């Protein structure tokens, strides 16, 4: 694996290998049994967007970690992460609904993303309030699929609010520098 800086192989027992690995990126360790990661538990949720700000990434990873044990807690954490993304993008004041609306009006969120962000907001609200969260055992997998979609969606919001503006700013700087060097 390219992220491994160092791994320690524990002798085989009953045909299985136990590995302890150190991540080159974050310095954290992971524990593997053969090809399966045992720790940290990340569940089945996708990894965070590479441009996700560190504080938001921490919330996202926490949501990934609790997903296997508590999809409800995961949804609530994703809502908090959405608030954080809006704050990182300059929308700091007001309710989450107001901040989403402002981000949309300012052109930071497309109409489709704005509508879906409302779904994430409502899902997070429902997860945080006892009476709103209707747990039906027959809907367990459906709820899980919805929450997995919220992870993907938060990555999309990161793309719109953080990554794309960053890339466009870098392009603008490169082009402006090139034009200044070449003159009128």
Q: Which of 59, 47, 50 is nearest to 86 (CA)?
A: 59
The more confident residue out of 4 and 17 is: 17
Structural domain contains residue 66: yes
Structural domain contains residue 131: yes
Question: 55 and 36 in one domain?
Answer: no
Question: 115 and 84 in one domain?
Answer: yes
Quick check: 59 and 158 in contact, CB under 8 A? Answer: no
- N-term to C-term CA, the chain: 49
Structural domain contains residue 92: yes
Question: 129 and 59 in one domain?
Answer: yes
pLDDT at 13: 61
To which residue do tokens 């720790």 refer?
39
Q: Dig out the tokens for 96 from the structure.
A: 């989450």
The more confident residue out of 184 and 126 is: 126
Question: 72 and 22 in one domain?
Answer: no
pLDDT at 140: 55
Question: 14 and 99 in one domain?
Answer: no
Question: 53 and 30 in one domain?
Answer: no
Question: 64 and 10 in one domain?
Answer: no
Q: How far apart are CA 27 and CA 98, in angstroms?
A: 38
- How far lies 106's CA from each of 13, 93, 129, in Å? 59, 14, 31
Portion of the chain with pLDDT greater than 70, in percent: 80
Structural domain contains residue 12: yes
The more confident residue out of 44 and 154 is: 154
User: Whole domain around residue 102: which residue ranges?
Assistant: 42-135
Task: Render pLDDT for 88-124 as a digit per residue (tens, 0 to 9).
Answer: 999 888 988 899 999 999 999 999 998 888 777 777 7
Task: Render pLDDT for 11-65 as a digit per residue (tens, 0 to 9).
Answer: 666 556 777 888 776 777 787 777 767 777 666 889 999 999 999 999 999 999 8
How many domains is the chain built from? 2
Question: 94 and 22 in one domain?
Answer: no
- Whether the predicted pLDDT of 8 surpasses 80: no
Question: 111 and 30 in one domain?
Answer: no
Structural domain contains residue 31: yes
pLDDT at 48: 94
- Whether the predicted pLDDT of 134 surpasses 70: no
Question: 127 and 79 in one domain?
Answer: yes
């Amino acid at each position: 694996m390219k992220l491994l800086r160092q791994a320690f192989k524990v002798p085989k027992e009953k045909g299985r290998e136990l590995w302890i690995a150190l991540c080159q990126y974050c310095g954290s360790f992971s524990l593997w049994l053969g090809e399966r990661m045992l720790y940290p538990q990340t569940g089945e949720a996708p990894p965070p967007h590479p441009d996700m700000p560190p504080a938001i990434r921490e919330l996202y990873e926490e949501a990934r970690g609790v997903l296997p044990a508590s999809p409800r807690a995961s949804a609530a954490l994703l809502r908090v992460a959405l608030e954080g993304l809006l704050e990182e993008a300059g929308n700091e004041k007001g309710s989450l609904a107001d901040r989403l609306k402002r981000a949309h009006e300012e052109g930071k969120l497309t109409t489709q993303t704005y509508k879906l962000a409302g779904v994430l907001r409502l899902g997070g609200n429902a997860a945080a309030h006892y009476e709103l969260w209707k747990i039906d055992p027959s809907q367990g997998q459906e709820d899980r699929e919805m929450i997995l979609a919220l992870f993907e969606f938060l990555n999309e919001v990161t793309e719109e609010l953080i990554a794309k503006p960053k890339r466009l700013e870098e392009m603008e700087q490169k082009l402006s520098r090139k034009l200044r060097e070449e003159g009128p």
